[in-house]
């Protein structure tokens, strides 16, 4: 089913938002809501990178483990990680233990600190489409990549960020409210 469906509480939701209790909470209170601040956006970029190739529920259920393992995603702290930290992270069962993604998260903290002249918040939000696209009526109308997500991914990579392709960039844009891809009939829109 690709159109909004009614949950047990009578509210219409995006179909994915009813597939698990964790998704209901995430869909209803977080996904598509504007996220600002370098730490918050760095966390989201990191989690989206870890999600690559996995289901979002896997990341969502481990988010507190990621926050603990990566010191609350404080960029200055993560940027200072060394080989011992990488070893610690690769042994941490509370996160996804993928060396390339762990190293990308550390590299991305360093890239954030080296932005110079701008903030991650300003950089990311400069790619919000204007005007916002029309509300999708079904999931089939929701793109995986847009010209804006391609441009955002290219700019992040130019600044040294890793694991930030156009699809990951669009997922970030959806999750952080740069676009509102809640379906037209979804109460959260």
Please identify every residue annotated as catalytic: 26, 48, 56
Give me the half-sphere count of Cα atoms (radius 13 Å) on the Cβ side of residue 101: 20
Name residue 13's beta-bridge partners: 5
């Amino acid at each position: 089913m690709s159109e909004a469906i009614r949950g047990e509480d009578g509210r219409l939701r995006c179909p994915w938002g009813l597939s698990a209790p964790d998704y209901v909470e995430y869909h209803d209170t977080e996904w598509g809501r504007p996220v600002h601040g370098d730490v918050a956006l760095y966390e989201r970029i990191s989690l989206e990178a870890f999600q690559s190739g996995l289901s979002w529920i896997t990341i969502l259920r481990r988010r507190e483990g990621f926050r603990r393992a990566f010191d609350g995603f404080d960029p200055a702290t993560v940027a200072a990680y060394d080989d011992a930290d990488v070893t610690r992270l690769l042994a941490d069962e509370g996160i996804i233990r993928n060396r390339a993604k762990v190293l990308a998260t550390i590299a991305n903290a360093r890239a954030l600190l080296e932005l110079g002249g701008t903030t991650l918040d300003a950089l990311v939000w400069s790619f919000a489409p204007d005007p916002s696209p029309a509300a999708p009526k079904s999931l089939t109308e929701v793109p995986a990549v847009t010209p804006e997500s391609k441009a955002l991914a290219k700019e992040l990579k130019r600044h040294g960020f890793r694991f930030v392709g156009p699809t990951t960039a669009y997922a970030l844009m959806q999750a952080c409210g740069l676009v509102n891809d809640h379906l037209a009939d979804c109460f959260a829109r």
